[in-house]
Structure 1
Amino acid sequence: MTRIDDTFARLKSEGKKAFVAYVMAGDPDFDTSLEIVKSLPGAGVDIIELGAPFTDPMADGPTIQLAGQRALEAGMTMGRTLEMVRAFRAGNTTTPIVLMGYYNPIYSRGVDTFLAEAKEAGVDGLIVVDLPPEEDDELCIPAQKAGLNFIRLATPTTDEKRLPKVLQNTSGFVYYVSITGITGSAEAQAGDVGPEVARIKAQTDLPVIVGFGIKTPDGARNIASVADGAVVGSAIVAQIAEGKSASDVTAFVKSLADGAHSA
């Protein structure tokens, strides 16, 4: 049982859906970013998705691309991202952290070294968007052996033939991408998402969390009502990009979390 498993078990016992918040590590700078991350559990965030900045984030739209650029320009590295996790863990040992990003920074660090460091820092799971199931031996299997959940993305184009392959070595939860496209683009619609979530849940006992295209408390509520929870990223990152204070960002996150939890 990981912290992610424990969190979903607790939420299920409380009859609540999960709210997952994404922020880019180091955006706009290390100290502000850490302050925001530390505030997330108090705002109602059940799981934190921490973006690891990378120079070529091909699955991300402009909002998160720019956040990554700001973080890199502020001196953020994979080492400093793990340092941020350690600093968070000094005051919080229960809220799961999922590191979301791309394989290159992990590969260049060395898989075994990275996994040992991530586990020691307090990372609970990984979402690596550019490693398909055919590459599971590369990182997914070693990560699971190291005690980290490896969370896979399913999309509207993941058909019945492909879905079992996607689910094969997934753990923690399944991240359903509600729209075809990049982060921060079209708005997710519960009417479209519900049948897709049901299709995935027919093939796995894992929770199915829906992200991409959720921008408002109502959106979070509507999507959480047809899934096991909702993820919001670009809308939060946009607040940071506007220069909002950590407390203002936290208040916005709380409104989203309240929406998801009211589903």
Structure 2
Amino acid sequence: MSRRFRRRLTKVGVPVKHGRRGFTLVEVLLALAISGLLLTAATSLLITLSRAWAERPATRDAFDAHVDGVARFFVSIMDKATMAPGSENAKSPIFLDRPVDFSDVEDPLISFFVREAPPVLVWPHGLAPRVHCYIYFEDDDGLSLLWYSDLQEMEKGESGKAELESEDDLFKTPISKFCQEIEYCYYDKEEEKWDEEDRLQEDNENDQHNLPDFIRLVFRMESQDLERTITIPIARISPNGLSPEKR
């Protein structure tokens, strides 16, 4: 072999030097192990969260649904309230009144009249029409509706209006035993703030009580408390703005 050919072979056979080297086998195995641990931890966390959501107490959802249902019931029934017969001078379909001969309360109750009672107000003769309702709260029994229908036997009272013959003719429908508190909310125009009271606000000048702007219902089950605020509908004004709307 000539010297010239050997020189070419020597130049061609010189190894090329690189600036970076690849990962070793140990480094690759270590990276795979760390990635596997992270993936396992993420999967375990996802399974734990999914199991906790699936096994959450069913009573909690039922309690939430009950509270929402009670709030919607009062909003709906008071929105349907209209002027009762013989109350042409009334300013609002929602007012304060006491049931006839009902001696269990000192203060009047939030009252209203509906032409058609909701199905929850069970009457022995079917669906009760022309119903007078009273929102009634007791510490032991919770929230209820006291009510009677104009179709029951009535007598003329001292005020000249038709009234029930006795307290025994008054129906009582339980609404929520979970309702543990009721608060009456008033807006103070002078102080420009809201006042919350556990009893109806008294009007000392007229020796009467004031109708609240809102009522706040506090529901309690075990250690969980939920609150709902119910707006008292204001007087409905007719389109001409001169007199209350008759429905």
TM over 0.5: no
TM-score, L = length of structure 1: 0.24
* Bigger Rg, which one: 2
TM-score, L = length of structure 2: 0.25
Greater RCO (Cα-Cα under 8 Å, separation 6 or more): 1
Higher normalized helix content (fraction of residues) = 1
